[in-house]
Structure 1
Amino acid sequence: MKTLKLTTFILMSLFMLSCSDDDEVMPLAEVESTTISNLHAPQEGGQGQPVSGTFTKFDFETGQETNSDTDWDIAFRGTTIAVNGGTETGTTDEPLRTSDAGVTIVNGTFEDITEVTEDIEFDQDGQDGFAIPTGSGNGWYNYDFATNILSPIPGKIIVVKTSDGKYAKIEILSYYEDAPSDIDPFEDAPRYYTFRYAYNPNDGQTTFN
């Protein structure tokens, strides 16, 4: 009888331990927030000449520039930003889209955009153009023809659905090398992005805090 009771106790203990392990919730990874400085996005041509050149690709999972043909989320060339989702736009030297990533521009401050809400719709590149519109005043920047200075539009936050289905938000801070506060367009080199971003590395999580 004692042996039977002991066996029953051991089996019940193992069952309870198994249930406890099954019910254990894995902690979420922290949202990653950082600033990227001087991401170089050169191009050839412009000013009335055909534009060409390789796009500089960026991957939020690693937080780094990448040369991968597949593992990238957004890509920069001059003022143009491509996303790894959709189809080719017909632009010379554009990267091949290999995932279902998407982007949208949301009005607000970086701090105020705390989550991806259900009403946010993500766009992709295609024959109608880039998901992030190009041209002064159309997307993320303004260009002053009197001063020859390009400036990010305040309150324009780029929200990204990444190539692996996670979410990030970006605020572009500067288009010039070392992000000068007083830009001299004849001295300060353009096509160097400084931007801050927040990236949630957790599956199914839509918040940025």
Structure 2
Amino acid sequence: MPERYGAYLSDSFILSDLIMIKTIALALSLASLCETGFSVMKETFKDGDQFQQRSVVSDIKVFKDLNGNAKPFAYFSLQSGKEVGAGEAKTVNWDIAFSRTTIAVNGGTSGPGQGGAQVLEQPFDKVSEAPAAGYMADGAAGYAIPGGSGNSWYNYDMKVHAILPIPGRTLLIKMADGKFAKLEIISYYKGAPDEVPTEESSYFTFRYSIADANGKF
């Protein structure tokens, strides 16, 4: 075979290999994006007199089986995505805390942070922006996220005697540092079983997303 043809074929194989490598890398990148809980939304914005759309990536985190049987509370940092020890209860290192069906935020009578909360009757995926007002802090009159069946995030189902999250309810949390997050309780039972009740209750599985500097999710 003439040398120039050999070189041509060699270059073709190299080009083919590069295309294959880039295709595999793109596929892996997209798979990783899905596994880490990112969702891609469209945001409409005005550029001069023209309305355009751009993709906005929202980082949705899921935490499974946070043990709300802890005393006095199980403390959690939305920023780090980790539990915080009870010894840090009087610090701004946590944002939300769980004690059975009671949920506290780091503000008011519960902590030294800027925390507050409100309950929206709106599905988690439909909440695209954090409200600028309407947040309550924990106080003498009660918690910012009210307790009791039907009052905030759950109903007590008398038929099956179980705590069941109310579909279409989203908790808007003002974090200890003043940033905003949206949060949805997925399950109150260990392992987030499809069928309840179960003896292992007060294990919270939830998902949440922290707003950007403009309050957008």
Map 1:127-166 onto structure 2 (within 5 A): 127-166=140-179
Kept in 1: contact 2:130–2:181 (CA 8 A): no
Map 1:167-182 onto structure 2 (within 5 A): 167-182=180-195
Normalised by the size of structure 2, how large is the TM-score?
A: 0.69
Aligned residues: 158
Structure 2 SS opposite 1:159: strand
| Structure 2 counterpart of 1:98, from 105, 109, 112 | 112
CA RMSD of aligned residues (A): 1.7
Q: Hey, what's the Cα distance between the residues in 2 that align with 1:117 and 1:134?
A: 22
| Overall identity of the aligned pairs, in % | 39
Map 1:68-107 onto structure 2 (within 5 A): 68-69=88-89, 70=91, 71-87=93-109, 96-107=110-121
Kept in 2: contact 1:166–1:205 (CA 8 A): no
Map 1:18-37 onto structure 2 (within 5 A): 31-37=58-64
Q: Hey, what's the Cα distance between the residues in 1 that align with 2:58 and 2:139?
A: 30
Q: Deviations over 1:30-64 (max 9, x none)?
A: 64311111011006xxxxxxxxx320011111011
Shift of 1:188: 4.2
Q: Hey, what's the Cα distance between the residues in 2 that align with 1:111 and 1:32?
A: 12
Higher relative CO (CA 8 A, sep ≥ 6), structure 1 or 2? 1
* Partner in structure 2 of residue 114 of structure 1: 128
Asked if 1:39 corresponds to 2:66, the answer is yes
Shift of 1:146: 3.3
Moved over 6 A (4+): none
Normalised by the size of structure 1, how large is the TM-score?
A: 0.71
Q: Deviations over 1:87-109 (max 9, x none)?
A: 2xxxxxxxx41111111001111
Asked if 1:207 corresponds to 2:216, the answer is yes
Structure 1 gap ranges (5+): 1-29, 44-52, 88-95
